[in-house]
Amino acid sequence: MTITHTVPVSGGRLHCEIRGAGPLLILTGAPMGAAALTSLAAALAHDHTVVTHDPRGIGRSILDDPHTDSTPDLRAADLVAVLDTLGTESADVFGTSGGAVTGLAVATLYPDRVRTLVAHEPPLLELLPDAAERRAAVDAMIDTFRRDGLAAAWAAFMDFAGFEDAGDAGPDAQPAGPPPGESPEQDLADGARFFAHEIRGTTRYLPDLAALAAAPARLVVGIGAESRGLETYATSVALAEALALAPKEFPGGHAGFMEQPEKFAAVLRETLTRP
């Protein structure tokens, strides 16, 4: 059974879904919403209370002003609002892609609210040696969106992120944008929001490495077994090295949680229960 909640957050309302019973686990993505994580949530609900949600301004999570940007810090505050609504002090957090950046912001700003954070392939371009060049490429992507539209922007994104060259690239392996949501019209709106109000803040986030190292939360950096060649593989390796951690390998590629949800859930479950 899935229970839905609407959680008040700063400047809007967050759509959340809750499944299962057991220790609380939040699955968070960005820009992907609850729909992308449904299969993984179902696989974990046998022994966890699993919370999924649509990030602010995406899908069924509505903002009072849809033109406001989505930043990791704002999304971190949203997750804390979810915990407060549920009357829970802390949770394990699995964040993937931009959601992994959200999780890092939670562990930094609200360190007592996270038990274990699994940050799966965060696109932390600022950790790379050619960060200025990557920053300019993201700005060019946004310009392409504004000038040529969403399809051209996604094409530029796929090329930049390395999906076309990655070993697991393909229509079923690497989504060209947020996975299908409530309707094609909503998918277009979510994609437009990603380029106009989210991608810059997410990719320019620079984690506070000292704060993360000092935080009580256990931190795991996850990398897809088939992600070599992706930008997020390089950024994940950079984060793991900066924190002196050995990265944890997960099945599949960047979207392994959708490609192989049962196998992915098994590795995540083991990661959460074993130090």
**144 in Cβ contact with 258 (< 8 Å):** no
Give the whole-angstrom CA distance, residue 144 versus residue 156. 8
172: pLDDT strictly greater than 50? no
| Mean per-residue pLDDT over the chain, rounded | 93
Lowest-pLDDT range, 1-10, 28-37, 133-142, 157-166? Answer: 157-166
166: pLDDT strictly greater than 50? no
> What is the pairing mode between strands 24-30 and 91-97?
parallel
pLDDT digits (tens, 9 = 90+) for 74-106: 999 999 999 999 999 999 999 999 999 999 999
- Cα distances (Å, whole numbers) of residue 114 to 7, 44, 52, 221: 19, 18, 16, 15
pTM, rounded to two decimals: 0.94
pLDDT at 182: 60
pLDDT at 159: 95
pLDDT at 183: 72
Query: Average pLDDT, stretch 49-73?
Result: 97
Handedness of CA 136, 138, 144, 146 (dihedral sign): negative
